[in-house]
């Protein structure tokens, strides 16, 4: 059996390289709160020029949700599992969606294919 560190090092990617996995039309699940990969989300917004119709599934952010701003309509569409301050205006104006659920149901949404994910 290979040492786990060797396998791990083969999988490590820089932020821009990791974002190569995100394409137009993808559904991207983003970790929430302290688990949010803020550098990846910021880079995704910086790469908005090469993307369109990317659905961002997210629960709660501690950071600004720039992808939910009006200037990114048609590029990113937020699907909120919990309407927090960072996306409230987008939801209220119709630029973002809500998937109402209990916190305990979120794993099932992904596992059972109710919200199939292309990148996470």
> Each residue of 9-32: pLDDT tens digit?
988 999 999 999 999 999 999 999
Contact residues for 30 (Cβ-Cβ < 8 A; gap 6+): 36, 37, 40, 41, 56, 57, 58, 120
What is residue 2's predicted lDDT score, i.e. its pLDDT? 74
Asked if residue 41 has pLDDT above 80, the reply is yes
Fold of 13-111: Glutaconate Coenzyme A-transferase (3.40.1080)
Q: Does residue 79 contact residue 65 with C-beta atoms inside 8 Å? A: no
- Listed by start position, the domains of the chain span 13-111
Check residue 3 and give its pLDDT: 85
Give the pLDDT confidence of 47-93 residue by residue, as tens digits. Answer: 999 999 999 999 998 988 999 999 999 999 999 999 988 899 999 99
Q: What backbone phi and psi angles, to 5 degrees, belong to 15?
A: -60, -55
**Residue 78 belongs to what H/E stretch?**
strand 76-80
pLDDT band, very low/low/confident/very high, at 1 (cuts 50, 70, 90): low
Indicate the SS3 state at residue 62. coil
What is the predicted pLDDT for the residue at 16?
Answer: 92
Please report, to the nearest 10 degrees, the dihedral formed by the alpha carbons of residues 8, 10, 16, 18 taken in order: -70
Residue 107, pLDDT score:
94
């Amino acid at each position: 059996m290979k040492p786990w560190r060797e396998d791990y090092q083969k999988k490590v990617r820089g932020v821009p390289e990791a974002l190569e996995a995100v394409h137009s039309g993808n559904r991207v699940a983003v970790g929430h709160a302290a688990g949010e990969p803020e550098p990846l989300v910021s880079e995704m917004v910086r790469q908005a020029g090469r993307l369109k119709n990317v659905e961002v599934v997210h629960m709660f952010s501690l950071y600004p949700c720039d992808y939910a701003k009006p200037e990114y309509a048609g590029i990113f569409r937020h699907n909120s599992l919990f309407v927090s301050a960072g996306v409230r205006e987008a939801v209220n104006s119709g630029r973002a969606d809500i998937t109402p659920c209990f916190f305990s149901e979120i794993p099932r949404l992904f596992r059972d294919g109710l919200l199939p994910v292309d990148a996470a």
